[in-house]
Chains A and B, each alone.
Chain A
Amino acid sequence: MADEDVVLLDFWPSPFGMRVRIALAEKEIKYEYKEEDLRNKSDLLLKMNPIHKKIPVLIHNGKPVCESLVQVQYIDEIWPHKSPLLPTDPYQRAIARFWGDFVDKKIYGLESGKVWTTKGEEQEAAKKEFIECLKLLEGELGNKAYFGGENLGYVDVVLVPFYSWFYAYEKCGNFSIETECPKLIAWAKRCMEKDSVSKSLPDQDKIYDYVLHLKKVFGIE
């Protein structure tokens, strides 16, 4: 589509931002990427997301769309012809939305953060739950190449950004995600073979450095 004006307000380590980057790349949409300093949020961010004041914010022809799961569905509906992310069948769509919601509640939820913010028993409990959730996702993936079937779909876009954080989790939690969930890691590597994914995710080392920096800033050992 010609004169489309697409702006993404984002923060490089944010897995939520990465979802939007992947979706836009899959649809081959050109956009302006604006890096936000979260300690000094821009007037534009505060104006476009007054309710949550958070990134990512997708601004399409001047109108803001907030919340990454909402943004990915919006992108899929505005540009439906290239790389459809949600299936057409209502039940398959419900399954995809269910697992997208699961990823947000369980993988990105408060509990999984405890894998790198705590130690001892609390950390062990968090690791256990985290792995259990990843195993449920492995179960859902089954023998498919992607959650979306033969191509990247909604759940792939929603989950794969977290892969860039796995190394940091493994180092902080002293465990190997690949040992516990080999199929999921194989899936993530398969996704990374796609430019839309590999160009949207930062290096795992950079994320680990960022996590170490956060731990210092928040006084977490």
Chain B
Amino acid sequence: MKWRTILSSKTMGDDEEVKVFGMWASPYSRRVELALKLKGIPYEYIEEDLSNKSALLIQHNPVHQKIPVLVHNGKSIPESLVILEYIDETWRNNPILLSQDPYDRAMARFWAKFIDEKILSTTRKVSFTTGKEQEHAIEEVTEQLKLLENEVKGKAYFGGEGIGYVDIVANFLVFWFGNLQEALGINIFSQHKFPFIFEWIQKQLKIDMVDECRIPKDKHLTYIQTRLAAFKSASK
């Protein structure tokens, strides 16, 4: 039985214009699309070639020149976590992504930072190092994933009664991370080692919009392998 989002009767005005500058293989980009889809917000998606960034992207994010960027009625908002909070505060229909309670909000923000600053950052090291350095990074990210496993233990979602902010930030675990480890030929992340995260993934997959944000596996594996090969030859 698939869970469907409930659209409020007044989600979007007629003159709302929402654009997302993104990249199909980026977990940061997918988060933003997932949040908009869950809230039922129509948007125009602009795919960026990261090796040849568009003038428009640079105009909308001059400081970092990165995706994702949300442009709402001409106003640019970069940085995925900032974008998620903006989406939640601007469109107040269900699902509400962050709790009203300040302590719960603080916990959610803490875990989102942990995912980005620790897990995803260490995952980059795993991808782009070799030998002892990579071994160390693999150990580090395994420990970090264990902390996340502990956080979701006994819960259907990271937050409250339904999909929320941390579930969206953790979306990289649903498709992206598994593809990456297959491409790298490593096995950090398995149902045996992380039963609670895998249980959470199964629940996530039942949500239509999560499935709509699926990163196509074969295309993704090829993409990662191409990037790794380019990195290896550049570092010789």
Contacts and interface: CB of A to CB of B under 8 A. Distances in A.
A91 B77 CA distance: 8
A93 B85 CA distance: 9
B113 A67 contact: yes
Contact of A73 (B79, B82, B106, B114): B106
B63 interface: yes
Query: Is the contact region of chain B dominated by helix, strand, or loop, or is it mixed?
Result: helix
B182 interface: no
B110 A67 contact: yes
Contacts of B83: 94
A63 B105 CA distance: 13
Interface in B65-124: 72, 75, 77-79, 81-83, 85-86, 89-90, 102-103, 105-106, 109-110, 113-114
Contacts of B109: 67, 69-70, 73
Nearest to B73: A91
A74 B90 contact: no
B110 A98 contact: no
B46 interface: no
B102 A91 contact: no
A101 interface: yes
Interface size class of B (residues with CB under 8 A): 20 to 34
A136 B78 CA distance: 16
Task: Report which residue of A70, A93, A136 has the largest number of chain B beta carbons within 10 angstroms of its beta carbon.
Answer: A70
A90 interface: yes
B12 interface: no
A187 interface: no
B82 A97 contact: yes
Contacts of A71: 106
B63 A70 contact: no
A93 B75 CA distance: 13
B134 to A, nearest CB: 20
Contact of B82 (A65, A66, A101): A101
Interface string B199-233: 00000000000000000000000000000000000
Contact of A74 (B75, B85, B102): B102
Interface string A71-85: 101100110000000
Contacts of B86: 90-91, 93-94
A51 interface: yes
13 contacts: A51-B114, A63-B103, A66-B110, A67-B109, A67-B113, A69-B109, A70-B113, A90-B90, A93-B89, A94-B82, A97-B85, A98-B77, A98-B78
Interface of A: 51, 60, 63, 65-67, 69-71, 73-74, 77-78, 90-91, 93-94, 97-98, 101-102, 136
